[in-house]
Every structure is written in structure tokens, then in C-alpha cells.
A and B are shown apart, each in its own frame.
Chain A
Amino acid sequence: MLKLPPFAILRPRNRDELKSAMTGSEDEFKILAGGTDLINNLKKRLYFTTSLISLKRVEELNYIIYDQNSDQLKIGALAHLTELTESPAIMNSAPAIAAAVKTIAAPPIRNRATIGGNLCLDTRCYYYNQSKSWRQLAPTCYKCGGGVCNAAPGAKKCQAVFSADLPPLLIALEAEITITGSAGSRTILLADFYTGSGGRPNILQKDEYLSEITLNQARKRTSLYRKFRLRKALDFPLAGVALSFDKNSSGKFINPKVVINAVASGPLSVPEAAEKLNGKEFSDQAAIQTAAAAAMAAARPIANVGSKPFYRKKMIGLLLKKMAAELVAGQEA
């Protein structure tokens, strides 16, 4: 087994203590939520982290609240993925979230992993997610602070792939997130959280953490997320598509949004694809075909995770078509 590097661990008991832990720390620290990705990455010595700040005792960050009157769904960053699948608040407002969560990893991992962790998941690459000794066989890559991309020689920046499953769906649902830092809180669109850069996938600063996810009109939209992976569980997506549109649209895509996943360094909104669907029937094959082509055109997979880039690109179009077919069959999530 790979050995964890030595590190200190801080266990704040509330948000105030969390704030002082973050501002008071002079070490390179990482926030530890479920740890399902972070601990593996530490074993591989991907980070120069000397201390961890555990959120485990900050229970006030773990909640799921749906207010029927305002149609607002608020999820604390520390809500565990399993809790999202069991929550009546989610099932009554945006059940597609629960369905998407069930495509993530496997139940034991979902019991530990949190929604905040999923949204902050680091990007992945065959040449990056390896042991320290393995990585030392090749030149230091962009993501490790070097000047090359080992997966795509010649690339000008890191090409690591975005692999979290919830962001595309939540972006399609126009989710907002609250970022809390030493200077206070700010609320932004989740779509604006991501940089599209493999090296640094989101905009969180050192003294900031993601505290809340909000859907302001949770029941307004129908949404779906589908992913391609080689096994029926456990795996990160090799391609993913989220689709949303206004509810009660009598078999038509009204104000659709299409967000594709795992084919670039961030989740990608594809307005060109959404445009092709707008106002069209679920069964409009020509519209779906052109939307699928637009979504595929936006995908930029490279050979840095499983399967083949050509196939992952193709799957973006196929997943969109499959979702449309499911809608026609009335099986939407």
C-alpha cells in the first residue's frame, strides 16, 4: 500500500473555528471533507500539503432544505452523496440530482463523499494520477508545476480532464454556489466557478471554501444526466451530458440547456446545441441530430483517461440522442 505522507490535522467545530483555522494556518493546507479523492491523491503525493482542515465536525454545513413556497433548494457543502439520494427535499424538488448521484462511484464511497467535494473535485489524467515514483519517469508536467503536458505533447497548458458528475447537471439547473472566505461570503453561478483549466479547475482562493449550493427555482426545470463509463459502477465519466428544459413544456424543449462533461478540463455549456433544440419536439430527429453534432463539436477529449478520444466524442452525441429517446418514451428522470 502507498503510504500517506505525514500531515497535521485541524478539526474545527463550527464555521468560526473553520475560518480561524484557515486564516491562521501558515502551512500548505487542504480542506478535508469526505476525503475519497483527497486521501488517494495524498498517497500519490500529488500535493505539497502539510496540514488538513477537516470539516467533519462543522455540522452546520450539512443540510438539505427545500422551501416549497419560494421553490428554493439549499444544500450544505457537507451533505453526503448518499444523503442526497435519500432526501425527501431533493425527491420533491429536483430528483434528477438523486439520479445523477447514483451514477457516482459506489455506495461505500457515496456514504463518505460530499456534494462540496464533488463540486471541487480535482481534474484527472493518466499521467498525473500516479505514484510519485511513476511521475518521476517523465518530465514534470504543468499540473505538477512543470512546463510540459505528457498526455498531449506540444499542448500549451494542462489538459487534465474534468471528471465530477454533479456540476454539469447543476449548471444545467442554473445552480448558484456560496463561497465563504476570510472577507465574507459571495454567491456566484456554479458555471462561473470553473476555470476550464486542467491545472487549476476552479476559482477557490486559499482562504475560501465552498459552503452552499442553491437552486432558486428547483422545480421549474426538468433535467437529466447520463454518463459513459466502461463498468456499471465505480468509474469516473468518460463522457457525460446534462440536459435541462422548462417543465410542462408538452413534449418540447423550452429554454433548454446542454452541458457536456469529461471531454475537456471543465464542464462545458454548449449553447449551440441548446439552440438547435429550443422549441423542438422531443421526437424531432433532425433537431436532435444537429444538436448532437454541435455538442460533439464542442467536445475536446484527448487520450488521458480510459476508452478512445474518438469514441468519447461520439458518445457525447449518442448520450444526447438517448436522452431524447428516453423523453419520448416518458422515462425522464
Chain B
Amino acid sequence: MKDYKILGKSVARIDTPLKATGDALFTADIKLPRMLVGKVLHSPHAHAIIKNIDISKAEKLPGVRAVVTREDSFDVRWGVFKYTQDHQLIAVDKVRFVGEEVAAVAAEDEETAIKALDLIEVEYEILPAVFEADEAMADGAPLIHEDHPNNVNIHVNIDVGDVEKGFADSDYVREDRFSSSGETYGMLEPYTVIADYKAAGALEIFVPTASPHTKAKALSNLLKIPLNKVIVRRSNVGGALGGRSDIFPLDFITATLSRKAKRPVKASYTREESMTCTRQVHDMIVDVKTGVSKTGEILAQDIKVIMGGGGYSSTGPIAASVPFLVWEETYRLPNVRLNSYRVYTNKPIRGMYRCHGRAFLGGLGMQLDMIAHELGIDPVAIRLKNALQAGEFQATGSKIFGCGLSEAIKNAAEKSKWAKKRGKMAPGKGIGMGANGMMCGFPMGIRGGSSAIIKFNEDGYPTILTGVVDNGQGNYHAMVQICAEVLGLNIPDIHLVAADTEVTTLDMGAYSQAAVFVGGNAVKNAAEDARQQIFEIAAKILDCNADELAIEEGKIFRKNDKNSAIGLHKVIRKGLIDNTPVIGRGSYMPEVSRTREWVSNPKGQQAGTFSFGANVVEVDVDMDTGEVSVTKATGFHDCGFPINLKAVEGQYEGSIASGGLGSSLMEEHLWKNGRMLNPDFLEYKMPLAVDMPEISANVVITDDPKGPFGAKEAGLFGSMNSFQAIGNAVFDATGVWVKEFPITPDKVLKALAEKEKTVK
């Protein structure tokens, strides 16, 4: 590992003291003068036509300041893509899931707002509803959007090579079905929006978001306000996990209430509303047929996916693609076909998740082990055999740059003592592996890049302006570290202003694993630009050329004469008096295909670079009851270069909990007629501290040629491949495959009973 002054160490983050002491403000903590309370009326029906809405009684209730309904819809539809604009952010003609937003009130206090909701009368005509994706796709199912036959919202088709020939050439072919129920993100912070529609026509909005600039653009379009007048102030985010990137009805509704009431409005969702009315995670059915050579080389794969998308599109085209993209980022797939269908259902809207696609990535990763088992190949060996290498191209055409996948697989096997354990442990104990690649920086058009500005005050201390967002993973600290390293300063010397659309420049936010890779490159470039300007001014004072200078500890000096040092503040002041103020400017746009499109043209470079990881878990299965405990997790992460080692380790630990073992073993939505039975943290089972295994977090350093100081995405590999690692470990422990996620004890017990029957 290269030795930097600031980078690559384990350091406490700039946000740690605030969060540890409780001083960090989250949106719900913010109070504006004259602020009202907003409350939303939700649909009680899964599928119904709205015949009439009568708000007259609610409007007359003393203390009510505004009521909004479909009359205030602006007749606009939201969609992440032009071709997916299907969602009116307050229901107009019909409702498509239980919980859809139908009306809202702003009142002086919460009690009054709740009372007012009871006074709104909505007349519905109930329509037949359909809840499961495969049933929604069947002929004759009720149509949820009349212009989408068979309720197919998105169909992504990828066909590479000659799949039929690949199967014909294969020595061994098998087909399996894997499935998973829907999940919840489980951010601790309930969703809250504060909107202040100012008399001058500007909208100020405080919201926990992973992408303030995207939110501003959407609100600008929807409310028809120029973009420079939509001020999205990002407050601290109590968990995002992929579910804070989109635009939600509450954003639009709170803004509309504020516009109507001419006062600031705060609307906070309850846990139940947060779990059902923002975004949920897709349920999924995956059929996969794989053909391999005798030696386990993948020769052909045919994958069909059906995803329950809920009532609207959200990030549909991306959601329908990402599980496959992650798979093709990991293994060589010469002949591969994907048919991925995202289907409308009468359930809440489904979005992207940090471990999106457990039936897909868990299933395909488990099938790889099934194949290895049939062919008598070690699961580590079959992964190494098919693992992509630096310089290779993925199935749909992306080039791999830095790649530590094979090294991560080997290291994880070695450190976990795989060879001594796999197949050799006591009954009920098992070990399994998962591995994956991960894209950093999607093709997102003008929103795919980032730019940063570094300004200096006359005392020599800089302020970074960047659109990068920190949802808790440490992105802010990484930006400060990068700037400090380039400018020869220390972390406390630097001030950061981030993710505030009034002052920061366009950035995609914490999306597609791009913050450190894209935003970090932009900050690095801005710092280098500032440094060059500093050297040019200092060269005049020190009477030398700019390239003879160095900067350390806030002092600029000739490399060959440390005694020549002058303070940075003097250089900054000279720049000001000479009318050449130092303002660093930098940007970065990942080198991705400009013609690649999720549905119409899924070909070409799909991300700026890729990170990799391998994860070995050990499980303890109670052979009598089927209960599974994860006892140990050993991960190796090719994150390029760890800007802050502690933050990278923390990401792995978090991904083992949320996504990792939670998704694999316990997390699932339960439903009855479109109503979620477990919309709370007692009955929706997320792992607790006592459920966590012993964790060994490690890095593989590859110094990515594209990343800032070699850095790229850090953290998703634990959550993206724990399903397969745990599923494979359960097989090692018990000899049975459980192909439905989560792997709950009843399923393990059933599989064991089936096996016993077959043996008899």
C-alpha cells in the first residue's frame, strides 16, 4: 500500500463527534418559524377508481391551513426516465396500492391534522387487484396501467453470443428456480420532508436524500419552478441503502401544501408509512439454465426473471438490469441471454436496494456451487475458473480495469481456512463462499458526472463545495481527506459544504456507487487545480518556477530548500491583491458509453470502473429445528485503495448485517390482500447485535487506474453476495439447498425432510 500522509489510514471521521453526541440534526429535528404539520391520507384499497373526494368538512376545521388533493396534481407524472412517467404523485383517477397518497392536510398541530384527515370523504369504486408478479403477468389479470399489456412495466432483453450452441457444447446443463419475497430497506430514520415555498417563488426543501440535485430537477419539472429556485438542503441521512434516491409523493405533497398555505410545512411519516409509502424492495422469481464444460467453465446461461414492481415504475429499467449487470461483472459469460420482466402489481412501489436481487445473485451463485458439487469441483476453483480479470470485457461490452477478484477469492479462502473446512466440518456446521463485482458510476447522462470548487479565505484555509452526498458511509470525510492530501493540509484545516443545490454543482449523489470514485476524482482535480494556482503565485514570491515547488503543513517551499517556506495564507493574500484569487475547479465524468441505454441498447461500457469482493461465511445449523446462525464472515474487498480503512471495514460490517445475513435468513414482507402484515421493526425481522457473526474485514489493493488515488466503490460486496455464501454454507452444513429466500428454519426443516424421504 502506498504511504500517504492522510490517506489509507484508519481515522475518526469528521461527522463522528456530532453523531456520537446526538448533536447531528436530522430533518425531523429542524424547526422553521411558523411551520405547520402535514399529514397524508392514504388509499385503503389496493386497486380502485377514485369517484369523488370531498374536503369541505376538513377545510372548515379550525387550525387547518391547507388541504391538497388531485385538484393540485399539476397534471404531471413522475418517472425516472421519459418512457416511465407513470406516477402522479397525488392519486388522480385511481389508486394502485394500499397506502397510495390520496389527500393531505397542513394544520397548526398534529392532532388537528389527524382530525382533518378523518373528515375527508373519498368515494371509491373497488377494482379487482393482483398482488403476485407471476399472476399479474398472466393473461386476463386485471390491468394496473391500461397501456401495459400483461402488466409488464419493463422488459430487458440481453442476448450475447450463441446461447443454443453454448448449451449444445456443454458437458453438463442444469436448470433451477430461485425466489425471494419483498424486503424493506429499514432505514432507522422515518421519512420526513420540510418544504418552505417562499413568496419570491423559490422552494426550499429539507429532506433525507441520496441525491439532492436529482430531487431538485424532478421538483423543478413537477412544480414548474426554475432549477435555480429549487433549493434542496440535505440534512443528515439516517440510512439510505439505495432507498433515498428517488422522488417520493411526500416531497411533492409537502411542497404543494406549503405553496397553498404560504407557510413552511413539515411532514413526517410513521414507521408504517415509511415502510409502505416510500419504496420497498422487489420480490423476484428467477429461472436459470446454465451449461458448463467438464472443468466447470460457464459456456451458456439463459436467465428469466420476474420482478414484482408494485404500482409504478420508479427506477424500473435499472432495477430490472442491475442483478444481471452485477453477475456479468463477476464471471466470463460467452453466451448469455437475459429476459428480465418488471411487472406492475397492486403492492407498494419497489426500488433499488443495496443488495438488490437476492434470488438472482443468491440463486446464480448457489447454482454455481450446485454445478461444482455435481462435477466434483471445489466452489473456490469454479469461481477462479470463471472470474474476470483486468483487461477483459464483460458480456455486454464493459472493459474491466483494475481487478482483484481472483485475489479476493483466494485470500478469503486462505484466511477462512477453506481447504480444511469445506466438506469436512461436523454435521450442522458449514462454510460457503460468494463473490461479485460492482459497478462504479452508471451512464446517467449529464447527471453522471461531478464537479467541485475549492475556495480559500484570506487566512489560507479552504472550503470544498461538492454535490457529493454522505448517507453515513463516510463520503464527506473521504472528500476532505483527498483535498488535504493534495494540498498538504490536515483534516481539521478544511471545511466542507456538500449536497446543497443552492451552492453546490451538479452531482449524481450517492448513487451507483459513484461518490468516492466520481465525486472524489472531481475534488482531487479541483485540489490539484488550486495547488497549481498556489504554486504559480508562490513562484513569483520565491522567484522560481511553479514546478519547483512543494506544499506541506500549510507551507509552500522550493523542493530543494525547505527553509524557503512561506505560509499558504500569504500566497492566498497575494492572489487576492493581484486579482488572481485561488479558486480550485475540478470535474470528472466517468468514461461510459454515451449510447448505452437500459432497455433499448444495453451494450457498451456500463460504468467507469468496477470493484470486486469475495466473502466466506460459516454457519451453524440446528439439524433438529433448521435454525441457522452465521458464526463467522471473512471478506476481502478490492476497493482499489482504501481512503479510510476503518470506513471500508465498517461498510463490510454493515453489509453483513443489513442485506447480508438479514436478507439471507430472516427479512421478508408478509401480506394479506395488499396489506403489509409486518410494517414495523418488531415483526419485520432485521438482525440484532446478538445475531451478528464474528467479522474479519480485509482489503485487496489494486490501485484502480481510474480512481482517485486508486480508490473505487467500497462496501456492497458483503451485502450483494452473502445470500449465495450463506445458501452454500447451509448446503455444506446440511446437504440441502434452500432455493427460496429468506432461508427460514421452516424451509430448512422441510428440505431436510424431503431429503430424508428421497434417501429412504
Contacts and interface: CB of A to CB of B under 8 A. Distances in A.
Interface of A: 1-3, 6, 106, 126-127, 129-131, 133-134, 136-138, 150, 228, 230-236, 305-308, 310-311, 314-315, 318, 321-322
A126 B682 CA distance: 11
Nearest to A105: B682
A260 B666 CA distance: 25
A228 B688 CA distance: 16
Contacts of A233: 688, 690-691
B15 to A, nearest CB: 24
B272 A131 contact: yes
A228 B633 CA distance: 25
B70 interface: no
Contacts of B677: 126-127
A249 B350 CA distance: 59
A131 B270 contact: yes
Contact of A231 (B44, B687, B749): B687
A8 to B, nearest CB: 16
B270 A307 contact: no
A126 B670 contact: yes
Interface of B: 42, 44, 98, 110-111, 114, 190, 268, 270-272, 624-625, 629, 666, 670, 672, 675, 677-679, 682-683, 685, 687-688, 690-691, 744-746, 749
A279 B282 CA distance: 55
Given A3-B111, A126-B677, A231-B666, 7 more contacts: A2-B272, A106-B688, A134-B675, A232-B691, A311-B745, A311-B749, A318-B624
A322 B666 contact: no
Contacts of B111: 3, 6
14 contacts: A1-B271, A2-B272, A3-B111, A6-B111, A130-B679, A131-B270, A131-B272, A136-B44, A137-B675, A232-B688, A233-B690, A234-B682, A307-B746, A322-B624
Given A230-B685, A307-B746, A321-B624, A2 B691 contact: no
A3 B113 CA distance: 12
A2 B111 CA distance: 11
A314 B683 contact: no
Contact of A310 (B670, B678, B746): B746
A228 B685 CA distance: 14
A314 B672 CA distance: 24
Contacts of A150: 672
A2 B679 CA distance: 13
Contact of A307 (B624, B629, B744): B744
B690 A137 contact: no
A1 B683 contact: no
Contact of A234 (B666, B678, B688): B688
Contact of A133 (B42, B629, B687, B745): B42
Contacts of B672: 126-127, 150
A137 B44 contact: yes
Nearest to A1: B270
B758 to A, nearest CB: 20
Contacts of A234: 682, 688
B158 to A, nearest CB: 37
A83 B190 CA distance: 34
Contacts of A322: 624
Give the one of A106, A230, A315 with max B CB within 10 A. Answer: A230
Contacts of B629: 232
B625 A315 contact: yes
Contacts of A235: 682, 685
Nearest to B686: A231
B666 A230 contact: yes
- Secondary structure of the A side of the interface? loop
A138 B691 CA distance: 35
User: Which 9 residue pairs across A and B have the least CB separation, nearest first?
Assistant: A311-B746, A232-B690, A126-B677, A308-B746, A137-B44, A233-B690, A230-B685, A2-B270, A232-B691
B348 to A, nearest CB: 13
Nearest to B665: A230
Nearest to B269: A1
Give the one of B190, B270, B687 with max A CB within 10 A. Answer: B270
A137 B98 CA distance: 9
Contacts of B678: 126, 306
Contacts of B44: 136-137
Nearest to A229: B685
B625 A318 contact: yes
A126 B42 contact: no
Contacts of A6: 111
A26 to B, nearest CB: 23
A150 B625 CA distance: 29
Give the one of A306, A314, A318 with max B CB within 10 A. Answer: A306
A256 B744 CA distance: 33
A177 to B, nearest CB: 27
Given A126-B683, A318-B624, A321-B624, A134 B691 contact: no
Nearest to B745: A311
B740 to A, nearest CB: 12
Contacts of B675: 134, 137-138
B679 A134 contact: yes
Given A131-B272, A318-B625, A3 B682 contact: no
Contacts of A230: 666, 685, 744-745
A291 to B, nearest CB: 16
A240 B104 CA distance: 45
A172 B242 CA distance: 49
A314 B749 contact: yes
Nearest to B45: A137
Given A230-B666, A232-B690, A315-B625, A134 B746 contact: no
Nearest to A126: B677
Nearest to A321: B624
A23 B490 CA distance: 69
A131 B271 CA distance: 10
B98 A306 contact: no
Nearest to A137: B44
A120 B744 CA distance: 31
A310 B746 CA distance: 8
Given A231-B687, A234-B688, A1 B268 contact: yes
Given A1-B270, A131-B270, A311-B746, A231 B625 contact: no
A270 to B, nearest CB: 20
Contacts of B691: 231-233
Nearest to B676: A134
A322 to B, nearest CB: 7
A118 B573 CA distance: 70
Contacts of B98: 137
B716 to A, nearest CB: 24
Contacts of B190: 1
A202 to B, nearest CB: 22
Nearest to A307: B746
A228 B625 contact: yes
Contacts of B42: 133
A137 B129 CA distance: 15
Contacts of B745: 230, 307, 311
Contact of A3 (B110, B670, B690, B746): B110
A99 B192 CA distance: 41
A233 B683 CA distance: 13
B428 to A, nearest CB: 14
B111 to A, nearest CB: 7
A7 to B, nearest CB: 13
Nearest to A236: B682
Contacts of A232: 629, 688, 690-691
A310 B688 CA distance: 26
A306 B669 CA distance: 11
B753 to A, nearest CB: 10
B738 to A, nearest CB: 14
A318 B691 CA distance: 22
A136 B44 CA distance: 8
B96 to A, nearest CB: 15
B276 to A, nearest CB: 9
A314 to B, nearest CB: 7
Contacts of B749: 311, 314
